[in-house]
Each structure stands twice: as structure tokens, then as C-alpha cells.
Amino acid sequence: MSTIRETAPTAPLDPPPTGPAPGTRAPSTYLPQRDLDAPPPVPRASLGKPTAEERFAAVGAWVAALALAWVITQRLLPLGGPAWLLVTWFATGLLLSAVTTSMTGRRVDVVDRVVSGVVTSGALVVGAALVSTVVFVVFRGWEPLLHLNFFVDDMAGVGPRDAFDRGGIGHAILGSVIELGIAIAITLPLGIGTAVFMTEVGGRFAVVVRTIVEAMTALPSIVAGLFIYTVLIVALGFPRSGFAAAMALSVMMLPIIARAADVVLRVVPGGLREASLALGASRWRTVWHVVLPTARPGLATALILGVARGVGETSPVLLTSGAASFFVTDPTDGVMNSLPLYIFTGARSPEPQMIERAFAAATVLLVLVLALFVVARLVARPARASRRTSRRTPRRARGVSEES
């Protein structure tokens, strides 16, 4: 006998509650009208990088400022000339940049835009001054530079009114190279040694040495020339020569190199010194093999600063070396000319040909200083691994990973 069981129909499941939990307040769905109408914020591509709209507004503000400055200086006020135009353009450019930025940005954005304009304008002014100086010097001395004899001949037997196909500055270039080479040979070891003493040795005497070095940094060039003239030429009876001029340049370059090298050696981490000493190295080997190689780029910069200080000085060379119109290869044998002294003599001449020769010599001096800077930077560049080593490294790493 089979029993039939009747089951009652099951009630449908209640949907989960969608309202707020008991004891809580339902969130408000009302949004202000300004939030509904405001466009979504545009994310920046990177931190600190302006958007295309911001760049367009900045450029448009400065273009409008230029037009407004022209109207103010050329039509409304009697302020003719490019100087007043540039000054008015700068002021109106900052004002319009602040106004356009305040329309869509915050106060910090306005300050950032104004400060950026001031800094950029300052950089442009410095760059324009440098470029204009170089262009003016090259333009005034262009004609003598077209003759090859200007670089290899001397001025022996050449008059101030002779044509540019006669005479040159070969003797001045040779004199500058010899004097600067002697000065570098003297000041480089002394300056770095002084910096090592002040940084690595220390003590009470190091404080005195640092004070003297900082005081000599602002030493006028004429004082250095008078010192060498009094001590070396007057007191010791040494003749005027290229060596005396090199000594005067050394007096000027030494505090610059010593102070810059001292700052660089202070930046070397102390952990490198402690690690070298912990491995059993002496203090001297630590300085020679750890500290100095680590600070080599900064030491090259110190040398650059010293050379830049001494290569263009005229007053110490004028007092100690004298002027010669012919080639002199021995720095201890009589007077020797140099590029700064040649430029000084030519610029004081009333003859137009000599003035043009002086500007041409100034152009050569600029190129010589640039070449010295490039060589110093190449020497200071850290050594790079060869291509063969860089190619073999992934293969070796791959082989180690396969074996493991």
C-alpha cells in the first residue's frame, strides 16, 4: 500500500533588504547643481607637467603682453627704445599670466606661474647676454680670423697699420699655454693636497688653513701680481718672464682649487672611508684609492674653476711677464707675451687694425677656454663598461639560471 505525501507549497524567498540597516540614516541622494554641471577633472599626464590648455594659456598671455607693451610704450607713453619695451613686456607678462591662471586655478597655481615666469625670464636674460657678447666679439674680429698666418705667425716686424695678411698671435697663444701649464702643474697638487689636509687630517691648524684659503678666494688679481713682482722680481732679482707670470697665476688659482676640492671631498660618504679602513687599508691608501677616485668629477670641476679664473687675467701678467712681439719658448728667458696681454695692448691702440686683431685674439681665447672645459669634462667622465662586457653579462646570467 503506497502512501502519498502531500507537501505544502513553499513560499517564495524574500528579496534582500535594500534599505539602510536598522539604526542608521539613509544617505542623501541630493547633489548640488554645481556638482552636476561641473566637468570631470582632467588628470595630468605627470606630476608638474602642464596640460595643453595651460601651455596655450601661458603662451597666449605672453603674446598678449607683448602687444600690450607695444601699445603702452609706443603709443600711450613716450618710452621709445627696445629697453623700455622689454621691461614693460616683462611686467605685463607676469600680470596677464597671474590673471589668466587665477581664472581657472588656485592661489598656489598663480604663484607657481609667476615664479616660473621670473625664473625663465632671468635665464633668458643671462643667455642673451652671453650670446650677444660672443657674437659681438666674433663679429668685430672676423676679418683677421680668415687669414691662416694670424694663428701661426708673430708680430715681429709688423706695424700697427699693416694688413691682416702679415703678423699673428702665435707667440701669444704659445705664451698662454706655457704659463697656464706651469700654473696648473703647481696649483693642482698643492690645491688637492690642501683640501685633503683640511678634510682628512683636520685639527686646529686645518681650521687656520681653511680660513686663509677662504680669505684668499677674494684676492684681487692686481694684489697677486704685486706680490710676485715684489718677492720674485724685486727681492730675489728674477727677471720678468713667463715663469714669473705663471707664479702670479698660481697665487690666484690655488685658493679656488683648494676651496672647491675641499667642498667636493666633504661630500664623499664616510661609509666608504670606514669600509676601507675596516678592510685593513691605511689612511693614505684609503685617500688615494677610495676618496680621490670617488671625487674625481668634482676635482675636475675645481680645476675648471681655477683655470677659468687664471686664463683671462691681465694685471698679474702685465706686471710680471712683460710683452714680447716674437716667439719665446723658454719661460725663464726674458719677457713672454700671452693672449690677455695681447688683447689688452691691442684694445688700447688707436689704430683700427690693432683693435680688430684684439677682438680676433679674444675670439681665440674664448675657443681655448671652451676646449679646456671640454677636455676637463671628458677626463672627469666616469669609466663605462665596454660593449663586449655588457653583451657577455646577459649570456652568463642566462647560463647560471639554466644550471640552477
Q: What's the pLDDT tens digit per position in 162-175?
A: 888 888 888 888 88
**403 has pLDDT over 50:** no
What does the buried/exposed string (b/e) look like for 169-179 if buried means 16 or more CB atoms within 10 Å of the residue's CB?
A: bbbbbbbbebb
CB 175 within 8 A of CB 318: no
d(CA 171, CA 189): 28
**Gap between the terminal Cα atoms of the chain:** 76
CB 256 within 8 A of CB 306: yes
- What pLDDT band is residue 388 in, cutting at 50, 70 and 90? very low
Looking at residue 40, its pLDDT comes to 57
Looking at residue 76, its pLDDT comes to 87
CB 169 within 8 A of CB 156: no
Structural domains in the chain plus CATH codes: 52-140 (no CATH), 170-382 (1.10.3720.10)
**375 has pLDDT over 50:** yes
Which range among 17-31, 104-118, 334-348, 390-404 shows the weakest confidence by mean pLDDT?
390-404
**32 has pLDDT over 90:** no
Average pLDDT of span 194-201: 90
**381 has pLDDT over 70:** no
Among the residues of 25-146, which ranges form H helices? 33-37, 52-71, 82-104, 107-140, 142-145
List CB contacts of 311: < 8 A, sequence separation 6 or more.
Answer: 176, 180, 340, 365, 368, 369, 372
List CB contacts of 110: < 8 A, sequence separation 6 or more.
Answer: 98, 101, 102
Looking at residue 45, its pLDDT comes to 45
Q: What is the pTM of this model?
A: 0.69
d(CA 180, CA 178): 6
Which range among 77-81, 180-184, 195-199 shows the weakest confidence by mean pLDDT?
77-81
Looking at residue 22, its pLDDT comes to 54
Looking at residue 124, its pLDDT comes to 92
Which range among 26-40, 71-85, 218-232, 270-284 shows the weakest confidence by mean pLDDT?
26-40
**250 has pLDDT over 70:** yes
- CA distances to 395, 397, 398, 404 from 391, in Å: 7, 11, 12, 21
**383 has pLDDT over 80:** no
Looking at residue 362, its pLDDT comes to 92
For the chain, the average pLDDT equals 81
d(CA 269, CA 196): 15
Looking at residue 1, its pLDDT comes to 42
Looking at residue 115, its pLDDT comes to 92
CB 261 within 8 A of CB 302: yes
- What pLDDT band is residue 16 in, cutting at 50, 70 and 90? low
**24 has pLDDT over 80:** no
DSSP letter at 229 equals: I
d(CA 273, CA 257): 23
Please give the torsion angle defined by the CA atoms of residues 50, 52, 57 and 58, in that order, rounded to the nearest 10 degrees.
Answer: 40
